[in-house]
Amino acid sequence: MQENVLKTEVHSAGPLTRLRLQEFPADAVSSTAVAGKCLSRTLARDRHRTPATRLCAALLALAQLSLAGGIRAGEIEPRAYVNTPVGINFLLAGFSFSDGGLSTEASSPVKDAQLEMPSGILACARSFEVLGKSAKIDAIVPFSHLSGSATVAGEIRERVVSGFNDPRFRFSVNLHGAPALSMEEFASYRQDVIIGASIQVSAPLGQYEEEKLVNLGNNRWFVKPDIGLSKAWGDFTLELSTGVFLFTDNDDFYGGKTLEQDPVLTAQLHATYNFGRGIWAALSGTYDYGGQTTVGGVSGDDTQKNSRMGATLALPVNRKNSIKIFASNAIDTSVGTDYDLIGAVWQYRWGKGL
């Protein structure tokens, strides 16, 4: 089951969120992007540990959270596909801070964009059974404050805005290697290979002003189908996942124009190590390709070819509470998100057997 509960590509994660620099003229920015965030939870396992320790690690792993409200390209989600006992509820609250710029095509009049975006988020999730397989639903509501400036055609422009990002809703299910188990049954479970799939939907309910070129909401829907494979070797787990962001049009883009965007393909690779007692750490990388935009019928030279790296550390507090610390930065950015991200998330869980 895909455990990421939240972006905030922080989507794309988030995201944080990829934000359009829309305080500026629409023909000045066709890349429609900046900043995203996301975090995740992972499943730790070890045949030598006690059932209680394995259970604690699994529950620490379930809920992943993307602190984001816009396009989720650039999200990093370690251990997104794990097994967890059914009938467990999760409540999450997190904070992240993003600081960076916007990479645009050479011909763009937008230069030297620098943005800061602290974001908070609330999310909830529940695990359950679907045809004998473990599954999950989650809902994410992010809130952000964005401030920054850029040089547009030789003039400095500034923008400050606060509000809700677009909420996201996800359904995920493990198709192989992760049967639906009760708390008691889960104590004897051992991971080998897990194959899972998910579909996420973002609704255009966040802050949006068509007369501004920077907004927290995107005024359009996106759907992201995703599939992942996770393989465990004792304390070490390797996971590969791939998905695609599919966007509807924004018919109320700046200046009364229509914004269209091609799909964005994304792939992620994660290496996770379990230190025991519910403590785990992950190193991750992601690569995004696509997303060329068209504004008012004019196509932009803004195909994304972006890569990021990140690290995550999860720490248990007690049986029902845990925290996670995460950070990521850009490796190579052709167009769009070019930012540093750091954050933390708190998780509380309750349900059958807890």
Q: What is the pLDDT of residue 287?
A: 95
Strand ordering across the sheet containing 257-261: 250-253, 257-261, 293-295, 298-299
Q: What is the pLDDT of residue 87?
A: 95
Q: How far apart are CA 102 and CA 333, in angstroms?
A: 9
- Which residues are CB-neighbours of 50 under 8 A, at least 6 positions away? none
User: Check: CATH 2.40.128.130 for 26-351?
Assistant: yes
Q: Strand, coil or helix: what is 254?
A: helix
Q: What is the pLDDT of residue 39?
A: 28
Encoded tokens for 133: 């397989």
Q: Strand, coil or helix: what is 12?
A: coil
Q: What is the pLDDT of residue 278?
A: 87
List, in sequence order, every residue forming a beta bridge with 154; answer none if it has no partner: none
Q: How far apart are CA 169 and CA 142, in angstroms?
A: 12
Q: What is the pLDDT of residue 110?
A: 58
- Residue-wise pLDDT tens for the chain (354 aa)? 544 443 333 333 333 333 333 333 333 332 333 333 332 333 333 444 454 444 444 444 433 333 333 344 567 889 889 999 999 999 999 999 988 875 555 545 556 678 888 999 999 999 999 999 999 999 999 999 989 887 766 678 788 999 999 999 999 999 999 999 999 999 899 999 999 999 999 999 999 998 887 788 999 999 999 999 999 999 999 999 999 999 999 999 888 999 999 999 999 999 999 998 889 999 999 999 999 999 999 998 888 899 999 999 999 999 999 999 999 999 998 877 678 999 999 999 999 877
Q: How far apart are CA 270 and CA 278, in angstroms?
A: 18
pTM score: 0.80
